[in-house]
Structure 1
Amino acid sequence: MKRTLLMLSLVLAGLAPLSHADVADGHALPPGIGWQKGDVPAAFAKARSENRPVFLYWGAVWCPPCNQVKATIFNRPDFIAATRQFVPVYLDGDSANAQQLGEQFKVRGYPTMILFRPDGTEITRLPGEVDPERYLRTLQLGLVTVKPVKSLLADALAGKPLAADDWQLLADYAWDVDQGQIIPEKDVTATLAKLARQVPAAQTATATRLQLKAIAALAGEKDAPTFDRGQARAQLLKVLADDKLSRANADIVIYAAGDAIKLLGDDKAEHRALWTAWNKRLSVLESDATLSWGDRLGATAALLALYKQEHAKQPLPALLLADVRSQVAAADKASANPYQRQAVITAAGELLADAGLLDESDKLLLAELKTSHAPYYHMLILASNAKERGDKAAALGWYEQAYRASEGQATRLQWGASYVSNAVELAPQDAGRIEKAASEVFADAGRSSSAFYERSRRSLEKVASRLKAWNQDQKHAGEIGRLAGQLSGVCEKLPAGDAQKPVCDGLVKTIKS
């Protein structure tokens, strides 16, 4: 007890990180915050009685970005202090009925963080990829705003005047996890482009961020709508040449590089100018100590991707490989907190693998298996590395081991779906393995209270589609018949009025078809 109190005081003071044992012992979140864990109705009841907003965090123990948020935001004294203004509720994706609630609140990706009014009206969705200072500013704006973001967006699109803080809320809204809450998903890109044109130019920082978000959204579209490419290039070059603007928008600069250059590099000269400027800026960001190690590794990964994009099939230069190794070693050494390590080591392992340093990636990940609170995530990268080498047996071994080690209702279904999918791809002749793996996944579904909602539903849909493809020549009718019968048994146990039943029945039909 004394050790626990001492460690808690040190953690809150920033003097000692939580150990891996602390996390494994059940500390799914950093201490210091009075989370309502899993009981969303109780959180809203408390919010109504106290007239406080609700802050919903939807995440998972294994999720690298979630662990990044825990390591950089949730453990900050200023965030912990801010939680006194609202009722914080943590909805773990593996808790009972979590996927059903996920479908209700339209949350899909981990992490998703939403601020609600006490009556359940959604105020805003908070971005998980930005730095803590921007995050906390956005949170405070959400707490004091008169209108929810959906209303602010309607006003902006109608040409009504907005306050500077309202424009900033729109600029920092988590558009990537909106899930059609404030605007249909198909309209997000065009909406961002329109907002970027309408934000008052005098609000320089906000205008720049909206313009960058619009460019990033356009770059992600297969068929981008017509827009002024010359103006977009000029805006990007201005940001890339400016230390302050680039740092303020580091999340976009780091993660939109390749697509934006493809979109805007209309001729060789323009392409080269953008590529050179972006490389120079990424080199600065990967060395920026004010960024998290996750983002610094992201900058290195972007440098690597840009080189490969420009020099397809050419060997990587020694200096670039040395940079990758140096960044990984520094990130490994600097990351003691287990939340940070879960985010950083996965990113580092993937970075080494992307650089073709598969053995070094394996070594890093294998060493982490002993202490990670979610080693099954690292096992997926080890499986991918083996797959890249062409070692199908080793890859399948890791996919299976990852599934066996995974924990939690939704997580087991997701990892099981990955195992089944790869078994069908890598060893379609091994009918025994495929039937056993799928059977175990369906058994997991039968034990889950919300197997046919949201993320879990998509995992089972993946299994069903893979089994259908595997049996397209009808050579596995026996195995498919037994599996369809097993899943039918799961469906039969669902009450007639349960919304999951038609989903389950539909999956059985998919498998049989």
Structure 2
Amino acid sequence: MSLRTAAIVALLISVAPALSIAANLKPATMSASGQAKSPDGIAWYDGDIDAAFAYAKAHDKPLFLYWGAAWCPPCNQVKATIFNRQDFIERSGFFVPVHIDGDAPGAQKLGDRFKVRAYPTMILFKSDGKEITRLPGEVDADRYLKTLTLGLNANHPVKETLAAALAGKKLSADEWRLLAFYSWETDEQQLVGSSDLLPTLQRLAKIAPAGDTATRLALSVLVAAANQKPEPVSFDKAAASKQLMGVLATPRIARDNMDLLVNYPAEIVGFVAPPKSAPRAALVLAFDKAMQVLDADRRLSKTDRLSALAAQVSLARIDVPQGPLSAGLLQQVKARIAETDRATTDVYERQSVINIAGHILTDAGLLAESDLLLKAELQRSHSPYYFMLSLASNAKKRGDNAAAIGWYEQAYQASKGPATRLQWGATYLSGLIDLAPQDEARIGSVARSVFEQVGQTPGAFYERNRSVLERVSRKLTDWNKSGQHAAVLRSVRAQLDDVCRKLPAADDQRSTCQGLLKPAKV
């Protein structure tokens, strides 16, 4: 699992207000084109999403859709690395930029409409509303802007380009690059179904012209295979390992594919090389050297460099998950994080930097240091409730269940926004069931609070909200598997039934609502 979540795109809250789902556009100030003008010069569209598409069509401009949340660390990362760059600001004049905050009224329904779930997701549309491509956020800023330019210049949507490639038709070099840097992680089965992802990538890697594009696709194949469960059969691991060694030995190629390498080092190495084998030792050594180069590359953002450090810790743990790290690596971790903490002054960049720094300290076994870092950030962060969940996780690792539950509760109480509060409430409830399953009174109280929030939230059964509710529903029914908590479940079901009855019969949300908290069929 990546420490940084899906793609890295964000929106400065003070620069781009959440999309208002109003009937008419109500921009604060207007540019000559009629779009809302923000302080940094980007004309973020603030209004009805359909009006934004109509504006794009009328002015023959592509539309750039960003979906994110205020708290998410990768969403904050771009505030200091991409959206404030002059070259991005200049490019923004060629498209209609739209922001949808996941907590805005009606946002989750829009998420369902555009098939976006992971924060952040960004999509480029043609002026006629056809999706051009989904942009990869975890590449570094320069690569991101190159990929954005490819999308703006694309003659065909990437779906058509993919079909042409698979049909054996000739593609231009730029079309191959757009396929190679497509955000497969946020695809949500728009191009290919989940079961078809690996074979599709394998086919593309095989037919792509030799060079950097083919290498990128081959690495994407390796990442998909390493994360597939069950493990794919008939995979040439020896060939993949040889190609990986070549990538790791070439700093330019490693940097171009940094997002794939830093997020899945243990998964990749663990997939292609057997435990405690000579090939694995060689790969770990080569990987570690490549990560050290990236960690020292001051052209990269602070988060990107820390991601390379995180990869080093992950690799050191690959065959000894609970064992101590070397004194040298522990010292490196402490020194790099202290240095980065001191050097990072932007409040939005810190949301990303402190998140990954806290995870690195925890993964290195430095729980006390992680706690100190995270607690200090509670006073500085615009979304401190995010870090409270990390503090809960640390307490859980130490076996301090009472402290973990306390942090889950604080995080829920401090969280803001309907979608966020639902997600944090579900996390608190899940933590309670895991750590204090006998505490019926508290579990029932929190469950009722969560479903009360559902009843007060229009569009509560769409997209991320729906996924959260389905998970919490399974958690509660599993908790009551033997019927020992039936009274609590009856109370919560009655509350949910009341919410369902108030939904219009023709509303798709009603069937979703009625399907929750049902015992699993045997």
Give the TM-score range, shorter chain. over 0.9
Answer with 49-58 or 223-232: which moved more.
223-232
Aligned length: 490
Q: Which AA in structure 2 matches 1:265? A: A
Residues 422-501 of structure 1: pairs in structure 2 closer than 5 A? 422-501=431-510
Cα-to-partner distance string for 1:330-378 (whole Å, 9 max, x where unaligned):
2212211111100111111111111111111111111111121110000
Once the 2 structures are TM-superposed, how far is the Cα of residue 314 of structure 1 from its aligned partner? 2.4
Contact 1:442 1:487 in 2 (8 A): yes
Residue 30 to residue 233, structure 1, CA distance change in 2 (3 Å): farther
Aligned partner of 1:53 among 50, 62, 73: 62
2:345 corresponds to: 336
Aligned partner of 2:308 among 279, 299, 309: 299
1:393 corresponds to: 402
Residue 119 to residue 199, structure 1, CA distance change in 2 (3 Å): same
Aligned partner of 1:248 among 256, 277, 286: 256
Contact 2:15 2:40 in 1 (8 A): no
Listed as ranges, the gaps of 5+ residues in structure 1 are 1-21
Aligned partner of 1:352 among 333, 354, 361: 361
Aligned partner of 2:112 among 103, 118, 135: 103
Contact 2:124 2:132 in 1 (8 A): yes
Residues 162-311 of structure 1: pairs in structure 2 closer than 5 A? 162-201=171-210, 204-222=211-229, 223-266=231-274, 268-311=277-320
Residue 162 to residue 26, structure 1, CA distance change in 2 (3 Å): closer
Residue 75 to residue 345, structure 1, CA distance change in 2 (3 Å): same
1:414 aligns with 2:423: yes
Once the 2 structures are TM-superposed, how far is the Cα of residue 141 of structure 1 from its aligned partner? 1.0
Residue 512 to residue 173, structure 1, CA distance change in 2 (3 Å): closer
Sequence identity of aligned pairs in percent? 52
Could you tell me how far apart the structure 1 residues matched to 2:319 and 2:491 are? Answer: 50
TM-score calculated relative to the size of structure 1:
0.92
Cα-to-partner distance string for 1:308-328 (whole Å, 9 max, x where unaligned):
113343221111111111121
Could you tell me how far apart the structure 2 residues matched to 1:339 and 1:397 are? Answer: 26
Once the 2 structures are TM-superposed, how far is the Cα of residue 509 of structure 1 from its aligned partner? 3.0
Contact 2:69 2:101 in 1 (8 A): yes
1:11 corresponds to: none
SS of the residue corresponding to residue 310 of structure 1 reads coil
SS of the residue corresponding to residue 509 of structure 1 reads coil
Query: Over the residues paired in the alignment, what is the CA RMSD in angstroms?
Result: 1.9
Cα-to-partner distance string for 1:228-247 (whole Å, 9 max, x where unaligned):
32221221111111121111
Please identify which structure carries the higher helix content: 1
1:75 corresponds to: 84
Cα-to-partner distance string for 1:42-69 (whole Å, 9 max, x where unaligned):
2101101111111000000001111112
Cα-to-partner distance string for 1:158-193 (whole Å, 9 max, x where unaligned):
111100000000000001110111111211111111
Once the 2 structures are TM-superposed, how far is the Cα of residue 207 of structure 1 from its aligned partner? 1.8
1:112 corresponds to: 121
Could you tell me how far apart the structure 2 residues matched to 1:306 and 1:419 are? Answer: 31
Residue 429 to residue 512, structure 1, CA distance change in 2 (3 Å): farther
TM-score calculated relative to the size of structure 2:
0.91
Contact 1:39 1:89 in 2 (8 A): no
Contact 2:161 2:175 in 1 (8 A): yes
Once the 2 structures are TM-superposed, how far is the Cα of residue 380 of structure 1 from its aligned partner? 0.1
Contact 1:464 1:510 in 2 (8 A): no
Contact 1:68 1:340 in 2 (8 A): yes
Aligned partner of 1:62 among 47, 54, 71: 71
Answer with 324-333 or 415-424: which moved more.
324-333
SS of the residue corresponding to residue 318 of structure 2 reads helix
Once the 2 structures are TM-superposed, how far is the Cα of residue 444 of structure 1 from its aligned partner? 0.7
